[in-house]
Amino acid sequence: MKALFDTISESCSENVTHTYSTSFSLATKMLAPEIRQDIYNIYGFVRLADEIVDSFHDYDKNVLFSRFEVDLELAISEKISLNPILNAFQHTVHKYGVDQHLIDAFMDSMKLDLTKSVYKTKEEYEKYIYGSADVVGLMCLKIFVKGRQQQYDQLKESAMHLGSAFQKVNFLRDLKADYDDLNRSYFPNTNLAALDEKAKRAIIAEIELDFQKGYEGILGLPSEAKFGVFMAYRYYRRLLKKLSNTPALEIKNTRIRVPNYEKFGLLTRSYVKFHLKLVR
């Protein structure tokens, strides 16, 4: 029965979310039940693509990624895939009319991680972030507004800024792993081998601007999505604060994180703030 396989597929996507990201999983649980599964389906898809280019070092990543591309195309065109993650994702794509351009842009950025290690210009950097993060935010926005195009268009720019902010925080947090283990340098005109306070402050100022513009969009989200996205926003702002208070040299040599007890404390404070109507 296809319905049974679809249920299993969705369970796989949810399990991927819970296993790979406690913070994203926690924020997703704050969404209304009727949209929660589709966000799991999107996360499962982007996580699988990301794992291919970042983690499967003992295998031919180019071959794996090319096969994944073919399977993705067939999943969307045939509305079924024997890959449970892709089967769940294609269901969400068709349910909400997720634009093919967003999917293509995401895959293009992931493919860059197979061959490109240094982003020398702002244009290269922004294009990569658009494909790796902004479009993921836009896919989620399609679900948040339940496919309503006018509301999607109104919130699109803010959603992109929020996606950019999240990705840039990830870049700064994962500086050691990206630079030392994967030989990647995303920030243009920045010597990551000798990251200093001035360069760090410039990056943080750029992220803060994205957060300001992204927050404006959160206020316009439907009630089903607003608290979950606000929770993710609060988590990443907390992470940015920790990065801001951490010496540049330490950021280069260790991975800064928010412990689980802090995440749950943040959830409690965010819940109170949100329901006291302090989010305006």
CATH number at residue 63: 1.10.600.10
Q: Is residue 84 part of a domain?
A: yes
Task: Write down the pLDDT at residue 177.
Answer: 80
Task: Write down the pLDDT at residue 278.
Answer: 47
Structural domain boundaries, residue 7:
2-275
Q: Is residue 108 part of a domain?
A: yes
Q: Which residue has the higher pLDDT, 263 or 9?
A: 9
Structure tokens belonging to residue 20: 């790979």
The type of residue at 279 is: V
Q: Is residue 202 part of a domain?
A: yes
CA 222, distance to chain mean position in Å, is 20
Q: Which residue has the higher pLDDT, 270 or 255?
A: 255
Q: Is residue 280 part of a domain?
A: no
Could you write out the three-class secondary structure of the chain?
Answer: CHHHHHHHHHHHHHHHHHHHCHHHHHHHHCCCHHHHHHHHHHHHHHHHHHHHHHCCCCCCHHHHHHHHHHHHHHHHHHCCCCCHHHHHHHHHHHHHCCCHHHHHHHHHHHHHHHHCCECCCHHHHHHHHHHHHHHHHHHHHHHHCCCCHHHHHHHHHHHHHHHHHHHHHHHHHCHHHHHHHCCCECCCCCCHHHCCHHHHHHHHHHHHHHHHHHHHHHCCCCHHHHHHHHHHHHHHHHHHHHHHCCCHHHHHHCCCCCCHHHHHHHHHHHHHHHHCCCCC
Q: Which of 151, 148, 116 is nearest to 132 (CA)?
A: 116
Average pLDDT for the chain: 89
Query: What is the per-residue pLDDT across 157-205, written as a single tens digit (0 to 9) for each?
Result: 999 999 999 999 999 888 878 877 788 888 887 777 677 888 889 999 9
Tell me which residue has tokens 């601007």: 209
- The structure's pTM equals 0.90
Residue spans of beta strands (DSSP E) within the chain: none
Least-confidence region, from 53-62, 73-82, 242-251: 242-251
Give mean pLDDT, residues 221-226.
Answer: 94
Task: Write down the pLDDT at residue 270.
Answer: 54
Spatial distance between the Cα atoms of 98 and 139, rounded to a whole number of angstroms: 6
Q: Which residue has the higher pLDDT, 192 or 276?
A: 192
Say whether pLDDT at 277 is over 90.
no
Number of domains in the chain: 1
Give mean pLDDT, residues 27-31.
Answer: 91
